[in-house]
Chain A
Amino acid sequence: MNIVLRLAWRNLWRHSRRTWLTIGAMVFSNVLLVFMISLQFGMYGLMIDNTLKVFSGHMQVQAPGYKDDQKMRQVVPDVQPLAAHLRSELASDTIAARGWAFGLASSAERSYGIGIYGVEPDFEPQVSNIPGLIEEGRYLDDTNATEIVIGTMLARNLRIGIGDELTLLGSGVDGSFAAAVVNVVGIFGSGVKEIDRNIAQMPLGAFQDIFYMNGAGHQVVLLAPDLGQADILQARVETALSDDSDLVVHGWDELQPGLKQAIQADMSSAFFMYGILVILVAFSVLNTQLMSVLERTHEFGIVMSLGLKPGRLGRLVMLETAMMGFIGMILGALAGALFTTWFTVNGFTYPGMEEMVANFNLPGRVYPRATLVSSFAGPLVVFLFTLAAAVYPALRLHRLHPVEAMRTT
């Protein structure tokens, strides 16, 4: 081993208890960072999946401008054949066509403005949780039947139940008056007020007839096996649609900008806390290295008198810190990864969580997502801050005067 490396290594263990305490602080913070970041990634994955599985999917094929304007005439022509083509092309069942219209839903007693979705009963359950959230009655089963499922709050507001008739009034795609009477066959409860109060679903065939869609719809919804594969799937969809320049594919972050912003806001506050943790560790290292430099002033004077430049001495201190930081990083990342892996397998929950998310037809445990990034990003930042903390003690050596240093005892 290079003698400077040997010197640095042995210097590190002159006060082994102090060194281990400093490494311990690094390891503790690294374990915490690895677990928290992995848990955060897992939570975000769950949040995204849960939100997207409720309705919007990982991506949607739409007409240009529809996402922002949502005008009836901004249609995807032949939406069902297109969905079928994509299912065949991508060998995936998690693709479904939809139409959407705003309408007035009237019962015998009351009327409410709602969003009416025309869906493919055979494929909607593959892209949305709504079909699985039926609390009363059943979900749609015939693409041409004049039937509808509505949310619990809407049913309560309209004072209707299963088997009752609902009158829908709205505008067709050509601006003409659209009206129909449909039977309520199911009532769903998603737990999300906006959905339960404002959304209804009916078979796409009947929807197209009522709103004069002429085979068109407004979106083809696609759900990837998981969030990590969404980008790949989106690229494949775009390739499959390359001949059809009139359509666009929107990713989940465009469809749910609020979700992305919520995640970003949460990440900002979390990383602020992580930053404080890392800075505390850096100060611990600064303290250790400063003490180490001060108590070796005499020795530094000796090596300077032998011809070692202050810069090289500074590098020696940096090397010692790098060694200590490296040990802390590796031990912390390994311990953190092991700790996190246990939760990755067994999941993480807290009292009441399972009951709460069960209302949303979603899994009740969070599974931390241990990746290379989550396992090493935190420890790497701690390592870099550790090095940064050693800069001041190293720079102090530049001011050292050999004779004065050697007089120090």
Chain B
Amino acid sequence: MTAVRCIDLCKTYRQGDQDIKALDHLSIDIEKGEFVCLMSPSGGGKTTLLNAIGGLDIPDSGEVWIADERIDQMSKGQLADLRLANIGFVFQAYNLIPVLSAQENVEFVMQVQGVPAAKRRDKSYAILEEVGLKGLETRRPAEMSGGQQQRVAVARAIVSRPELVLADEPTANLDSKTSAELMKLFTELNEHHNTTFIIATHDQRVQAYAKRLVRMLDGRIVGDAEQHAA
């Protein structure tokens, strides 16, 4: 079953006097349960592609399908609902809400989803334990290390068991040990819950965990190969 389908995507940004083609007639199919790594040098278009798949950015032309739904023509509200129900995001900069504790950050998405309070609390504590943050539930982002913040961000992204997780440079600010732990966590979720992962990175260590490696350059796919994950 296809989890993500992009057809002939184009996206151009204007930078000064120049038009930058972030996506250049790009097409890709990603099956449910795949663990895909998007590799490119900076400016290769991987973040733009992730944003288009996540409905955060609308391509200039082309089609984006999530499962059976075409999302590039959806309204802002429909896209928000789609992200809330089906997609988990992990950002390079963690992007936690600074005034909420770790547990509250995780709980926040569930509250928006309308999950009952008791269930929210149980699930948020359980997922924080799962990502190795037991005992740090009441800490605010400023009181945690980068690795711990990224784990909270991951916990927030996966607590509702989304079908698709999009991660943009998730290990960029982490040391190698924490990066390995994070990738291991992603791998487990992928294997145990059949969650589809699309990770944009230029971190060579992350590539080793991917089952499929997609190489991009100047907004185009220049290599797409399956591999044995670590």
Contact = CB atoms under 8 A, between A and B. Distances in A.
Contact of B100 (A7, A308, A309, A403): A7
Nearest to B75: A309
B76 interface: yes
B176 to A, nearest CB: 27
Contacts of A14: 99
Interface in B57-105: 57, 76-77, 80-85, 87, 89, 91, 95-100, 104
Given A7-B97, A10-B100, A309 B107 contact: no
B51 interface: yes
B185 interface: no
Interface in A283-333: 299, 302-312
A305 B54 contact: yes
Nearest to B103: A3
Contact of A310 (B76, B85, B91, B98): B76
Interface in B11-37: none
B73 to A, nearest CB: 16
Given A299-B97, A307-B80, A403-B51, A3 B56 contact: no
B54 A307 contact: no
B100 A6 contact: yes
Interface string B99-134: 110001001110111000000000000000000000
Contact of B77 (A10, A11, A306, A309): A309
A251 interface: no
A402 interface: yes
B80 A304 contact: yes
A3 B107 contact: yes
A4 B97 CA distance: 12
A299 B95 CA distance: 7
A406 interface: yes
Nearest to A308: B112
Interface of B: 51, 54, 56-57, 76-77, 80-85, 87, 89, 91, 95-100, 104, 107-109, 111-113, 156
Interface of A: 2-4, 6-7, 10-11, 14, 299, 302-312, 401-403, 406
Given A6-B100, A305-B56, A306-B108, 11 more contacts: A3-B111, A4-B111, A7-B97, A302-B97, A304-B80, A307-B81, A307-B82, A307-B112, A307-B113, A311-B77, A312-B112
What 5 pairs between A and B have smallest CB-CB spacing?
A307-B84, A10-B99, A307-B83, A302-B95, A309-B80
